[in-house]
């Protein structure tokens, strides 16, 4: 079983409106699961959407565990809502959030540039940062799916992160299993972030056993 981007949005809506699970709680759970998969000093590279919020939440846990090498965000001013609150929580700890990726002292990179909303080739700084991740020579862990991969079709736009491990939530995203997905996603780990089985049933998806 897998999820489309539309199903992911509907699950988030149901979790909040029908089951009383705040979206910031889901972001926190996603960040914790992503951080658990990072087994060394980690450079966290974030974009501007909810995937960036997951990355910032992961960075806070990695900082707490003494495993954060650096954290960067493409454009902090474009963060909003729960992602903005994750940034503020990280800054309160005295963690510097850079405006350029830094891989000094890192053993691996946590890719949090794009999530399920991408439907065209990355451009500008987004493309540059993806290329920097690929050129780092470090092991790459992607949050939910590699940045640059279409979550529905599995098309790897140019450029696209080449991950060694993808930590995806609730169920694999359809693009991880189709077209270019298996080539760029590395190993796939499915993590539970607390989406109720009833929410999956409500969108016609059988819950994982």
Q: What is the pLDDT of residue 129?
A: 98
Q: What is the pLDDT of residue 41?
A: 98
Q: What is the pLDDT of residue 135?
A: 98
pLDDT higher than 90, residue 206? no
Query: Given pLDDT bands bounded at 50, 70 and 90, which one contains residue 4?
Result: very high
Q: Report the share of the chain in percent with pLDDT over 70.
A: 99
Q: What is the pLDDT of residue 86?
A: 97
- Yes or no: say if 91 and 120 are a contact pair by the CB < 8 Å rule: no
Position of tokens 């565990």? Answer: 65
Q: Return mean pLDDT, the chain.
A: 96
Q: What is the pLDDT of residue 208?
A: 63
Q: Beta-carbon neighbour count of residue 15 at 10 Å? A: 22
Q: What is the pLDDT of residue 78?
A: 95
For residues 49-61, average pLDDT: 97
Using the 8-state DSSP alphabet, how is residue 82 labeled? H
pLDDT higher than 80, residue 65? yes
Confidence (pTM): 0.97
Measured CA to CA, the distance from residue 149 to residue 5 in angstroms comes to 12
Supply the CATH classification number for the domain 5-202.
3.40.50.10260
Burial annotation 111-126 (CB, 10 A radius, 16+ → b, else e): bbbbbbebeeebeeeb
pLDDT higher than 70, residue 209? no
């Amino acid at each position: 079983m897998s999820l489309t981007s539309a199903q992911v949005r509907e699950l988030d809506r149901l979790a909040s409106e029908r089951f009383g699970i705040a979206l910031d709680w889901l972001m926190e759970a996603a960040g914790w699961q992503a951080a658990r998969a990072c087994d060394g000093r980690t450079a966290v590279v974030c974009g501007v959407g909810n995937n960036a919020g997951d990355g910032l939440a992961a960075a806070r846990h990695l900082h707490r565990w003494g495993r954060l090498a650096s954290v960067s965000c493409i454009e902090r001013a474009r963060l909003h809502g729960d992602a903005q609150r994750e940034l503020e929580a990280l800054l309160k700890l005295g963690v510097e959030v850079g405006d350029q990726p830094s891989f000094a002292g890192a053993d691996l990179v946590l890719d949090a540039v794009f999530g399920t909303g991408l439907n065209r080739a990355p451009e500008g700084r987004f493309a540059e940062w993806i290329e920097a991740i690929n050129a780092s020579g470090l092991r790459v862990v992607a949050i939910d799916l590699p940045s640059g991969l279409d979550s529905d079709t599995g098309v790897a736009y140019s450029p696209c992160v080449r991950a060694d491990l993808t930590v995806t939530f609730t169920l694999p995203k359809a693009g991880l299993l189709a077209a270019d997905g298996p080539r760029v996603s590395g190993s796939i780990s499915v993590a539970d972030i607390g989406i109720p089985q009833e929410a999956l049933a409500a969108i016609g998806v059988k819950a994982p056993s």
